[in-house]
Structure formats: structure tokens, C-alpha cells
Amino acid sequence: MNFLLEALSSTFNPVVLAMLLFGVVVGLLVGALPGIGGVFAMALLLPLVDGFDISAVLGLLIGLTSVTTTSDTMPAVLIGVPGSAAAIATVEDGHPLARQGEGDRALGAAYSASLLGGLIGAFALALAIPVLRPLVLSLRTPDFLAVSVFGLLFVAVVAGRQPLKGLLAALVGLLLSIVGVDPLQGVQRFTFGNSYFWDGLSFTIVFVGLYGLVELADLLRRGRITETRFQSSLPAVLRGVRDTLREWRLVVASSLSGTFLGAVPGIGVTTIDWVAYGIAARDRKGGPEYGKGNIRGVIAPESANNAKEGGNLIPTLAIGLPGSIGMIFVLTVLSEHGIVPGPKMLTEHLPLVYSIVFFIAIANVLGTGICLLMTRQIAGLAAAPVALLVPVALALIVLGAYTTHLRPEDLLLLLLFGALGLLMKANGWSRAAFALGFLLGPNIERYYFLSAQLNGWAFLSRPAVIVVLCIVAGLIVRLALQGRLRPGALVFAPDTAGDRMLLALFAGLGALAFISALGFSGGSDMFPRIVASLLALVALPSILRAFGTPLRVGGGAAAVGAAKLLGFVGLLSGLVFMVGHLVAVPAFIFAASLLLDRTRWRAGLVTAAMSTAVIYLLFDELQHVSWPTPLITLAIPG
């Protein structure tokens, strides 16, 4: 037990605790600001703590990385813009709750779920320490394939009452995930000879467009965040906490899945979130529909994404393989102090390993405590005037997207995915299903080819693969018995102009992709051809059905909100190109706030100035973004 005492003594050293607290505060801040990642903050802070004791530096890093997924919930719930990729799933139900005036309840549930998830992750890490190495090394590539396919099965769950639309959305997600250099041959697929697409479509841009812009358009239409009068109260926050405690089984299941998947290098936090969301959505008893404010849809991903930190540390400490990008910094610190991750961690450095476990636990308690204390103030954001909130959020979104590659295509894609998201939401197409396809597609293709190269067809005999195949077979049999695989059941009646546009767009994409894929070589054509064929096949019967279906008219108000928002994005993008971001941002925020509410011009002026200062600090001073030269300076002679 000496190692535990040693770990406790090193953890509760005042310097170490101060560094841990500092890490937690920074982690909460970067989590709450869309576009600023924890990895960036780590890279920025690490050189500053050179020379500190290893426990203090690890305290800082673990403190920072453990809580970014706690505070990223704030913008996700309140304005529907995820603070980081880890909060995308939380938007699905968290934001509808805020709109119903239950933002503080959603935040209370999210924070407490994050706390419990973090603690379970830390506990799992502590328990797993003696069996870490064999556990991680027992997995094989076909097992990762099985996990990815299993994740994709949740499309059936998140699609809700529109299974066919969900399937189509997932297939489009899969198809768009193929864009870029293929993982096997290095062949460029759907890049149109443009190097912009080599890295594939940016997750940030796709999801900010699909979720962030859509929610802001909705906000513009409604004119306020909450549909009822907003009353922030401690009892409401505590109600959220009670929701979490009542759903303890879901918390445990989501946390364990988060820890397990977090231990597998290559499985990202977004996948972990959606798998947890799928676990929650399997239970349809009671509560509102998923996607419309079901508190379980908040609790599950929040538990899972905090638990994954413990999981990430398992391969990091056991065999020196970083479980996530953030863990690379942990490995760097360890190696700079002469510590070799691997078997020796369990002998020579056991106190340090348990200190790390304590760091995760303390960071989660501190992070949640700070968030809960601030919830009333933070939830007060929901009462902020839309005329100020939307322009500021748009400025952050547009610049965040633009800094992905600093190319015009960034903003064009943001607009396209914003428009796609608006159409999908207005017509009941599951964006969550699209997300699952988009996130899991690359893993499925890559792990399939790796499994086949390494094992031949023998990969099908791995237990995990057999289990997933049995689940798929079981699902098909069940659907067949329910009569849901009859030709007539595999069609829906597209009765809105939006449905028809999406169907035509998706079928067109499928056909185009199939033809383009004919030119791909060496096996890189297989996956795109299968997905494209399926997409065209599934879409075709419903397209034919459209001819006999009367058109339903409506949605004028939503269309106005959408047009206004996309217009704003286009205007701000144009201004950034023309005059540069430091002139474009204040001009846009002031003009947009005036346009939305003429009475608030003073507040608009102050907001514009303050936002520009914050943007300058974030993008220019901290990140040293290399902005392209504004067109206007090119036009000025000399």
C-alpha cells in the first residue's frame, strides 16, 4: 500500500494541486470556446512549465484534458453550437431542452454525468492497471472493424421514426467520408484534382455547418433561445443532477463503453459519443422523443466522453501508444523525465500511475464544481438578445471554419453543409445518422482492408466479428418478420419540396460517385461503389413514388430564417476576403445587430469591439494565424 500513500502525498502537494487547478480552469475555458481545442492549449502551455516536477506537469495536462469535454456542453446546449467535436451528440437533445426553457436542467445533468463518467473512467483505469497490457494487446484489427460496424448499426436507433431517411442520410455520410486520399493506395477519390480535398472534408466544418448554422437559423426565426420565459434556478440545475442519478444504469453503461472505446487507439471521441447516444436511444420508454429534448440523450454522451480520458490513458501507460492526440503530450512529458511507458509503469512508477488516476478524479470534481457554481450565470446566456448573440456566434463559426485551411473552399463548404443541415432538419432527416456514417466510414473501410490483408477471410472467425454478424443477421430477421423489408415498406412518400430536393441530391450524388469510382484503381473503388450503389438503389423507389404524391406546402418562416442566416455567412465571408477579419468582424457584428434590432446600437457597438478584441487575442496572438492578404490591399497601388 506504500505506493498509494506515495501517490496521495505527491498528488496533494500544493504546487501540484495549483497546477491541476490551473489546468482545469484553462481546460474549461478552451472547452467553452468553439474552435479552440485542448490540444492547442496543451501545446501552448507545455513549454511554459519546463523545469517543473513531473507530477505538477502531468497534473496540468490531465487537469486540462479531463474537463474540456465538461465545459464544451455550454455552447452546445445553450445555442446549439458544439464547443468541441465531443459535444456534437449533446446538441441533439441538449439544445432542444434549452429551447424549452430547461437549459439549466440540461447543464446540471450534463455536468453531473461528466463527473460520474470521469470518475468511472478513472476507477476503470485503476482497476485495469494490472491487466492493462494483455488487455490492449489481445485486440486485433478485425475487432476494431467489428466495433466500427457495431457503431454503424445505431443508425437504426437514431433515425427514429424515419428509418429510410436515416439509412439514406447514413449512406450519404459514408459517401462523403470517402473524399480525400484513400488509406490503402493513396489514390485521390472525389478530389476533383483540387488539393483542398486531399485531407478529406473537415469534421469541424461539416458539423459546425450541419448543427451550428442550423440552430442559429432557428434562433433567428424564433428571436429568442427559449420558447418559454427563461428562469434560471438552482432547483432546475439540481433537477438535472437528479436526472443523472436516476439514470445511473445509463451512466455506468455509457461510461464503460467510453472507457473501453477510449482505450482503442484510432476510435475518436465523436464515435464514442454517438455509440453512447445509441445506447441511450435504444430505450424508447418514457420522456420526449430523442432529438427533441430527451435528457438521456444528454447524459449518455457526456458520461462517455469524460470516461474516455481514463480509457485513453490505458494504452498510453501500458504500451506507450497515445490513446488520443492529447496523450502524445503526456508521453512527451514522461519521456522527457526519463520514464518509459510500458511494463515498468506497473513496477517502478506505480505511484505515478495512481497519481494520474487521482488527477483525473480531482479534475472532474473541480471542473464539475466550477461549472455547477457558474451554471446560473452561464445559463443566463440563454436570456441574451439574439440580435447580439447570433452575429458574435457567426463570427466565431465563420473564422473558426476559415482557419481550418485558410482557403475559400472552407467557407463554401460551411455554407453548403449549413444549407444541407437546414434542409435535413426542416424535413425530418436524421443528422445523427449522417454523423455516424461520416465518422465511421473511414474506419470501416480501412479496418476491412487491413483485416483482409493481414488475415484473409479468417478475420471473419474472430469472436467480435461473429457477434456483430449475428446481431446484423438478427436485425434482418426481425425486420423481415415485422414485414419491414417488403418492397412496399422500403419506400417513403416525399411530400415536401425539401424531401424531393434531398432525394434528388442524394441519388445524384450516388450516381455521380459510382461513375467517378470507375476510374479508381487497385481496390480503392470497392467501398465507394458499394456505398454509391446502395444510395442510388435505396433512393430510387422513393423518387419514383414522388410522382404520385401530392406536394405539401409550408415552412415559409423557416426558409426566411435560413435565407437570412446563409446571407449573413456569405456577407461575413465576403467581407473577410475583401477587407480582412479585423475590419470585417466589427463591421459585420455592428451591422448585423442593427439589422436585427435597431434599438440596441450602443450594445452592438460595444459587442463588436469586445468580440474583435477576443478574436484578435485567440486567432492572431495565441494561434498566430497566417491570414491571406485582403483583396483591398492588393487593389491599392504600392
Partner 1 sequence: MLKETITAMVLLLASNSVAAEFPSKVSIKIGNSMSSGTAAIARVIAEHLSGHLPGNPVVNIEAVEGARGVQLARQMATTEPKDGSVVAMTSMSVLHNFLIDPAGYDFSVADTVWLGAFANTIVYCVTARANPAALTDEGIIIGAANKASDFYRNGMMLKNLINPSAQLVSGFTNEVEIMAALERGEIQAYCGPTRSTYEREKRADIQQIVAGIGDPQALEARGVSDLFKDVDGLDRDVLEFSTFPTKWFYTMGLPAGTSPEIAEVYREALRSLNADVDFIAEFTARVPEYQFRPGDMLSEAIKIHLATDPAVIERARQITQ
Residues forming contacts to partner 1 in the complex (CB under 8 A) are 39-40, 42-44, 47, 137, 139-141, 181-186, 188, 191, 193-196, 198-199, 265-266, 315, 319-322, 331, 335, 338, 340-344, 404-407, 446, 449-450, 453-454, 623-626
Q: Which residues pair with 181 in a beta bridge?
A: 188
Shortest gap between Cβ of 186 and partner 1 (angstroms)? 3
Shortest gap between Cβ of 554 and partner 1 (angstroms)? 42
Shortest gap between Cβ of 267 and partner 1 (angstroms)? 11
Shortest gap between Cβ of 325 and partner 1 (angstroms)? 9
Question: What is the 8-class DSSP label of residue 628?
Answer: P
Rank residues 218 and 410 by Cβ distance to partner 1 and give the closer one.
Answer: 410
Shortest gap between Cβ of 563 and partner 1 (angstroms)? 31
User: Which is nearest to 360 in space by CA: 1, 11, 13?
Assistant: 11
Rank residues 344 and 552 by Cβ distance to partner 1 and give the closer one.
Answer: 344
Distance between CA atoms of residues 336 and 340, nearest Å: 10
Rank residues 404 and 593 by Cβ distance to partner 1 and give the closer one.
Answer: 404
Continuous segment of H or E residues that includes residue 165:
helix 163-177
Shortest gap between Cβ of 6 and partner 1 (angstroms)? 23
Rank residues 166 and 323 by Cβ distance to partner 1 and give the closer one.
Answer: 323
What are 36's three cell numbers?
479552440
Shortest gap between Cβ of 36 and partner 1 (angstroms)? 12
Q: Which residues pair with 180 in a beta bridge?
A: 189
Question: What is the 8-class DSSP label of residue 346?
Answer: G
Rank residues 111 and 449 by Cβ distance to partner 1 and give the closer one.
Answer: 449
- Residue 617's CB is within 10 A of a number of other CB atoms, namely 11
Shortest gap between Cβ of 273 and partner 1 (angstroms)? 20
Shortest gap between Cβ of 442 and partner 1 (angstroms)? 8
Shortest gap between Cβ of 117 and partner 1 (angstroms)? 24
User: Which is nearest to 169 in space by CA: 427, 415, 527?
Assistant: 427
- φ, ψ of residue 564 to 5 degrees: the values are -60, -45
What are 514's three cell numbers?
459510382
Rank residues 290 and 449 by Cβ distance to partner 1 and give the closer one.
Answer: 449
Q: Which residues pair with 552 in a beta bridge?
A: 496
Rank residues 100 and 623 by Cβ distance to partner 1 and give the closer one.
Answer: 623
Distance between CA atoms of residues 217 and 144, nearest Å: 38
CA distances from 99 to 106, 226, 293 (A): 11, 4, 9
Question: What is the 8-class DSSP label of residue 160?
Answer: T
Rank residues 342 and 574 by Cβ distance to partner 1 and give the closer one.
Answer: 342
Continuous segment of H or E residues that includes residue 518:
none
Shortest gap between Cβ of 44 and partner 1 (angstroms)? 8
- What string of DSSP letters covers 77-128? HHHS--SSGGGHHHHHHHHHHHHTT-HHHHHHHHHHHHHHHHHHHHHHHHHH
Rank residues 429 and 449 by Cβ distance to partner 1 and give the closer one.
Answer: 449
What are 351's three cell numbers?
505511484
- What string of DSSP letters covers 394-452? HHHHHHHHHHHHSSHHHHHHHHHHHHHHHHHHHTT--HHHHHHHHHHHHHHHHHHHHHH
Distance between CA atoms of residues 53 and 187, nearest Å: 47
Any idea of the CA torsion for 502, 507, 512, 518, to the nearest 10 degrees? Answer: 150
Rank residues 43 and 493 by Cβ distance to partner 1 and give the closer one.
Answer: 43
Rank residues 44 and 515 by Cβ distance to partner 1 and give the closer one.
Answer: 44
Distance between CA atoms of residues 585 and 598, nearest Å: 18
User: Which is nearest to 329 in space by CA: 574, 23, 21?
Assistant: 23
Shortest gap between Cβ of 316 and partner 1 (angstroms)? 10
Rank residues 498 and 528 by Cβ distance to partner 1 and give the closer one.
Answer: 528
Question: What is the 8-class DSSP label of residue 461?
Answer: G
